[in-house]
Amino acid sequence: MTTYATARSVRLGVAEMIRPPRRILVSEGAKALQVANAAGAAGAWDPHTTPYMVEPLDTTGSRHYEAVVFVGPARSGKTISLIDARLAYLITCNPADAMVVQMSKDAAEDYSKTRISRSIAASPELRSRLSPRAHDDNILLKFFRSGMSLRMGWPSVSVLSGKDIHDVLMTDVDNYTGDLAIDECFGLALKRTQTYMSAGMVVAESSPATDYADGAWKPSDPHQGPPAAGIAALYARGDRRRWYWPCPECGERFQAAPGYDGFALPPLEELLERVVLDDVQKLARHYSLLHCPHCGVGLQHRWKEGMNRSGVWAAEGQVVHPDGTVTGERQEARIASFWLGGVAAAYQSWESLVERYFQALRTFATTGEERPLKTTHNVDGAINYVPMAARSVSDPNEMRKRAEDWGRGAVPPGVRFLAATVDVQGNRFVVLVLGFGIGESGQLERWVVDSFTLRTSARPDGSGGFLPLDPPKYLEDWERLVEKVITRRYPLADGTGRTMPIRVTGIDWGGKSGTSVRALEFWRSLKVRNLHTRVRLIKGDTRREGPLFRETFPDSSKRKDRKSGSKGDVPQLLLNVDRLKDTVSANVKRAEPGPGYYHFPDWLPEAFYAELTAESRTAKGWENLANRRNEAFDLCGYAEGLALWMKVPAINWTAPPSWAAEWDDNPDVRADDAAPAPPPRARTRRVIRSKYLGR
């Protein structure tokens, strides 16, 4: 006779189902959790390691709140405390159905395998409560002896509908990739717990990852978060608590605020120059002191652990006194919301925090790439990012005041090569010729060498003139670009008679129906003449989060719904226009020469500057809200994309490629076939070098 269970084991199994909840703090019950790492080693969850997580975790057991929202940096212990430790409390002290909502289905499966399963296996108290039946221990659904179920979910209507769940634990919410917006997901989670009334709980935690476009925004209260969507918006719906710790020098309390303001860093303009010229690690070490706003003393990182252990949370409207007591009333809210600055994170030093910020600034200063800056703001500083282009409003008059004096169509000193970009309209070609080179700052700068519009074709109108251009219809109209742009040479401004060719031309081939077909035919005709190597067709990439550029060979020959004429034989540059325009906007705002600086000649019309500032940076990206002419802005963005494709930011200017060498060493610069150089102007403009460049 086979025995499947003893009477004792049956009694113990049933007893687990009827055991009353243990009335202890959540942080006490969470000590049953053994945090396991990839090597199999485990250590008990210790609230003293991240003391700032104790109150948020204990608040998840309060019947006064329906949700806890936590915003904080990566590696601060927020997920271990609010998700893993909360689950340990539920399993051992207050069994109830729970769901962990991850970024995506794949992330949910990975979290179950690498975090949940390992923690249960490493924690004797959790392991003993897991159902002994093999079919009760699955990747996305686990059952325990008490009858408690633990689901793994992701942001989907089907996952978050039709269930009664005691705890919905949402992690990394600002990076959700499902078919639900964060607000929708949070609302559905609250509905799932509503059956349990005051006992139900929703937890949402994340580092901020959404941008905001109001560069002029300033908080009206020290506890106010930026006007961004996602976890920042959820935080704003709560009582807005911040972490206050004592200054070891004067004893006064101050906020461990998100971002980098506490490090007394120089102005951004100065930083952008210093991170290029100076040793970033030494610079970070110099600025890694956190300054007390009361006494002004720069505090070393070694004081952080003690400051955290003496820290307290205070809500908006409350006052923290030097002895740690908190007075004042919290505003009434059904959500307890917390925001922890990156300076308080237990697992990152202040020097590392500042160094990552400086490294990201160096990347931006040398390449125009903003993604590292956004990342370090989000995961290290625990603050939403505002793009450089949105930090101030572009003033066309200020740009025009910087105009310099050199002849139209002449290549000014400093330019190493020319890049032309063409915007194809229904009845014209709009052309910009931009020079790239090394200015007096010793950094990569830009010069506007020429700007013009082609309006007439070479087709006779029958009365001695020529018909207007019609690029979508006539291939021969594109031939105007060969002489006027692709093979054109510009005289140097040194009066020697030498000329410089256009090194690369980018042609926007989107727009009116028929344009793409003619653009492809034109490029193929250039290939026959061996003029194609320096010409690329360019188009905006619909993926806003994609790379700055990618080269593709589109082929629609097998698609009946496409008639573009592409056969996989013509290269195309897909440009992330939004991010490239961020670079342009930030560069044209530079008031002094330096990395990315734009030199404008005094012959440019006022309309050019108006076009350069026609668009506004919104949460959706760059938008032409007033429907104004914006060709100059588009063409500058295309030119930045061409420069990246040519790997210009990576050039070693002490040993550049021949086409980017100085004029006397550049084989592309020659005197034959040269148009006479314009005579030098009597009046010269003195360029003032930044006082910060020598630092």
Predicted confidence (pLDDT) per residue in 398-443, tens digit:
888 899 998 888 999 999 999 999 999 989 999 999 999 999 888 9
- Share in percent of the chain as helix, strand, coil (round to 5): 35, 20, 45
Alpha helices in 442-540 (DSSP H): 480-481, 515-528
62 pLDDT band (50/70/90 cuts)? very high
Phi and psi angles of residue 617, each rounded to the nearest 5 degrees, phi first: -85, 115
Phi and psi angles of residue 443, each rounded to the nearest 5 degrees, phi first: -115, 165
**Residue linked to tokens 């608590």:** 241
- For residue range 625-667, list pLDDT tens digits in order: 778 899 999 999 999 999 999 999 999 999 999 999 999 999 9
CA nearest to 417, candidates 642, 676, 593: 642
CA nearest to 635, candidates 663, 611, 666: 611
Token pair in block for residue 657: 């490629």
681 pLDDT band (50/70/90 cuts)? very low
Task: Tell me how many degrees the CA angle 300-303-307 measures, rounded to the nearest 5.
Answer: 130
24-51+65-208 in CATH: which number?
3.40.50.300
682 pLDDT band (50/70/90 cuts)? very low
Residue 552: which H helix or E strand, with range? strand 549-552
**Residue linked to tokens 């070693």:** 652
Residues forming a β-bridge with 605 = none
Please state, as a whole number, how many other Cβ atoms lie within 10 Å of the Cβ of residue 608.
Answer: 21
Q: Which fold does the domain 396-665 belong to in CATH?
A: Nucleotidyltransferase; domain 5 (3.30.420)
Answer whether residue 24 shows pLDDT above 80: yes
Answer whether residue 687 shows pLDDT above 50: no
DSSP state of 114: I
DSSP strands (E only) in 477-530:
489-491, 499-508
- Return the pLDDT at 218: 84
- Which is it for strands 429-438 and 415-424: parallel, antiparallel or unpaired? antiparallel
pTM score, whole prediction: 0.70
Q: Where are the domains of the chain?
A: 24-51+65-208, 238-360, 396-665
For the residues 59-84, what does the mean pLDDT come to? 94
Token pair in block for residue 61: 């057991």
Please state, as a whole number, how many other Cβ atoms lie within 10 Å of the Cβ of residue 157.
Answer: 13
Q: What is the sign, positive or negative, of the torsion defined by CA atoms of 434, 435, 439, 441?
A: positive
Are residues 76 and 347 in contact, defined by beta-carbon separation less than 8 angstroms?
yes
Distances (CA, A) of 171 to 60, 70, 109: 14, 10, 14
> How many Å from the N-terminal Cα to the C-terminal Cα in the chain?
88
Which amino acid, 558?
K
DSSP state of 144: B
- Which is it for strands 98-101 and 149-153: parallel, antiparallel or unpaired? parallel
Alpha-carbon gap, residue 249 to 681, rounded angstroms: 62
Token pair in block for residue 158: 């089907």
DSSP strands (E only) in 263-403:
290-291, 298-299, 312-315, 319-320, 326-327, 335-339
Residue 137, Ramachandran bin (φ over 0: left; ψ between -120 and 50: alpha; else beta): beta
